[in-house]
Structure 1
């Protein structure tokens, strides 16, 4: 609205100035034409009735010797008489209001006058605030024979008109300024009235939360369009509350399902080495072996250790909020990892500790779970390789323990590298895909980190960093 008022004001002002200028030009031309007609009529009467000289070109200067000044003064015109060739015969310039050059007419002007169908030439020019109208016509004798050329020049000072125009523009600008101020005020109050209800709706929408109780909008006075919008918002709030209840119930159910899958997956991890241990014991059992008691104790310790892992998982299941719990104690990492790897009984697993002894404050069960899970994944990645190789390296770096589990398996495709630690993601045909996600949670609980590098067809290397304390 404000822009339209401003644009209209500017356009009206421009049109007004243009119209004023055109009217001034038309007025000056019409005024000159009236003076021209009167002056020519007086000259015709002078040649017809009042002169005693023969009316011809040679006597024009004598006929209008003094009379030319009277005619010029009465009509306020500059009058100049030329012969038919354009040579100056008589002029009123010495006694007129404006002076003109006492020079002959140019051949172009004489020729143009002769070729003009109305035998009249009108020229306009402006210098500063002064406008000049000049006309050229023929002078005829009583028998309508051309005997000379008449030049009439009217000088109009437009300074007063320009001043009037400036005063008019000033007054018009004041009116437009007042209109502009009124338009701004009206637009402000009108927009405030219109947008007041919309702002209320906007504020309520910004305060809308999925997990909180949202208030409905109640407006006492509003247009029908706003009422429709408010009704739609209130209906959305009702639906949102219903959706929030359903979503909360669905999230609880999903959380329990995920927990059940995770626990089942973690229980399966120790079952595999237990199965291998039992099979190995059954295959190598010899009651006559003199070291049978030592071997039996070793197998029993392996089974007990894995049973302890299952027991800790079952305990954690009873208290989901604390899963997985940490029971930090000082352990010797090198021997614990060797013991965890021995249960696989695989020649492809090569254990390469860089230290003889390495102590750290960790949960022994959780450390075994981390290594067991990584090695199990490596075995599955290399099961189709002719010469499978799994390297387990343990290094001490400052205040950290670095464990690297690498294999020469099939590798991890580029398109799934970002999903490798996501729950329920797996590249295997069986399993829940929760193992890596679970051990990452364990490692991050120690403020450690796990990362990997992989190249398809060449293998994968997982790096675990855990603080010693």
Structure 2
């Protein structure tokens, strides 16, 4: 609002000054023309008097010289006025661009895997920009709080309700940020940084989509089902996945929807563990237990991270929020199963899901 008032004031003063210069020039120019006409009239009326003719010619020369001086002076004033306007406009543009650049720099410094270290951005600039920064600070604060909440997700039986709350609340925070950014996008000539902000908002929406998918998973409805068709159905959704088993029937007491969700997450995790990675699914029967192994030939997991990968919020992937494997563990336990992991760097990883027959 303050900057809008400044620019409007500059424009009004400029118009006023330009109008005044034009009016003054018109008045002076008319007077010069009238004086010139009077001199011509005197000259015509008294052609015989050489002294008067001489003085008239002298006055005409002086009049024209004065006219040129006045024109130059007014041109100089007009040029100075335009320079002042350009300087003030440049200052105004800089005053808007500076806080946007500052905001852009701070956003680039945010690390999704270390968001707890985030320091609130100081609001600067116009009301619109300050509102944008404040909304963004609130958004990050909410994300940090919800990340801590996710860290305790296994302590909550109502984790799906928590996910719904997260999606709803953060969506409400994103909307004003996107509105302010799009508003500024229409006003600025340099849109790269504002487009970067919109891109980051889109990344946050993609994260929310993951929460939304989690929140819509049904409650466990356990019954005896043949898992082989379920495994084949999930495999069909991916490339580079192979089932290493000729068994046609294995019946377990499970929820088919949640069972397929477990497989999807583990297969996706394996395929994303390296370039040109393949995933193989192996089924092993031992006594009263069924072991489903999801094996990949990816980059592997460091030994010191093996005990952490099922912890909510832990991730080594860029752009990930680290809830996929935590949710897998929760779903496996809802189906009364167990999950563990074996891995070697540069050789691959084997997730082993165990169920009772």
Q: Would the TM-score normalized by the shorter structure come out above 0.5?
A: no
TM bin (shorter chain) = 0.3 to 0.5
Q: Which has the higher strand share?
A: 1
- Greater RCO, CA 8 A, separation 6+: 2
- Higher Cα Rg: structure 1 or 2? 1
Scaled by the length of structure 1, the TM-score of the pair is 0.32
Q: Which has the higher helix share?
A: 2
